[in-house]
Amino acid sequence: MTQQNTAPHGSNIGIDGQALWADLMETARFGGTPKGGVRRLTLTAEDRQVRDWFARTCEALGCTVTFDSMGNQFARRPGLDNSLPPITIGSHLDTQPTGGKYDGILGVLGGLSVLRALERSGYVTRHPIEVINWTNEEGSRFTPPMMCSGVFTGVFTEQEVLDKRDRAGKRFGDELEAIGYRGSEPCGQHPVTAYFELHIEQGPILEAEGKTIGIVTGVQGARWYEVTVKGKDAHAGSTPMPMRHDALLASARMIEAVSQVACAHAPTAVGTVGLIENRPNSNNVVPGEVFFTIDMRDPDDAVVRQMEEELYSQLPEIARRSNVEMEIVRIWDAPAVHFDPECIGMVEAAATESGYGARRIVSGPGHDAAYMARVTPTTMIFVPCADGLSHNEAESITEQDAAAGAGVLLKAILKADAAFNAG
């Protein structure tokens, strides 16, 4: 560790944009797909590989890397006063089944680029600085999403998450043990001073307005549901249409209702059915059972509640008319989040000082930052992605925007280091 730089707030420190981009390209190899995306589901071999890479790379910069009982990784660079809780930067390394190269990992590698910039300059912050990789942010293998930042902040208990099972019946706790990332530190007993998260926007606003930086003021509310529709398997050739109990046909009507409910609350509300399983899924059998998920979101919690009421009214009526049975279960409730005004101001000042076009923005997707805001001052930084596309192998950002976002992150971290616990 070199001596503290005397420049005010590390004003001579800069991000190595080329190194950040090289990291993004290198890590895309872990679970890389033929279409140029990434399939790196949580607690798989690919997840273990990228975790190992992250640990090695941070240790090479002189950091200490640990992980807690839920597999959350912490890469720590010491500060001048290591009795202070760290200022943290975080996001996730897991992806969707057909994910892109930047969702989540930009925040982790942007944090790594901050550590690299500090080490290269010799600047030592007052606080320790930590970069966090949160386990299972996506929720694509084990639901709900943001699962282990949720344990960290008391939203879920450790045991209920360890007992979660994927669609193949594999238990979360067993899979965490299998990749070697079940740590001894109880999840949630890791102190923090503040939390910053860099992310691609996953929407079209910044690109459409020609802005480089999104100053994120909060996250919209979301609720997830699982729906099971039960009819009766029957022969497709010999069962008259009026005598059928077709679970798939009923589900199709319900899926249309989900869209109609969301459209009724436009332009802010959205509703999605993203997963569906049809049983027995045979050419000549009338489907007897269907399972599907619903994702409903709006910046206003009252609108989310209203949409839920409409779903709970309309879907059972569709089931009754379709001669099937239906069960709907809410599996996740994430109220709207408002980030810390002081942290927001730090990001805004950093963007202005850097000369970037910026705007305040509310996040449509959920992020680990939404849970961290419950326990520590928190905010996020967005950079544009092409056509607003994310959760897609064609997800794309520019090297310049990645570096810009990391640069604003660095400046915000240095401002936080000066402001928090100043005595």
Residue positions forming the annotated binding site: 92, 103, 138, 199, 391
Distance CA 240, CA 253 (A): 20
Which residues are annotated as part of the binding site for Zn(2+)?
A: 92, 103, 138, 199, 391
Question: What angle, rounded to 10 degrees, do the helices at 399-419 and 17-27 form?
Answer: 110
Residue 356: φ, ψ to 5°: -90, 145
Half-sphere CA count of 382, side-chain side, radius 13 A: 27
Query: How far is the CA of 360 from the CAs of 171, 218, 374, in angstroms?
Result: 40, 10, 21
Residue type, 204: P
| Closest to 199 measured CA to CA, from 182, 185, 183, 219 | 219
In the chain, count H helices and then E strands: 12, 16
Residues 151-165: b if buried by 16+ CB within 10 A, e if exposed: bbbebbebeebbebe
**Sign of the C-alpha dihedral computed for residues 404, 410, 413 and 415 taken in this order:** negative
Instruction: Return d(Cα 405, Cα 417) in angstroms, integer.
Output: 18
Beta bridge partners of 334: 222
Plot region of 421 (φ>0 → left; ψ -120 to 50 → alpha; else → beta): left
Asked if residue 128 has a cis previous peptide bond (ω within 30° of 0), the answer is no
Where helices occur in 3-64 by DSSP H, the ranges are 17-27, 45-60
Q: Three-state DSSP class for 20?
A: helix
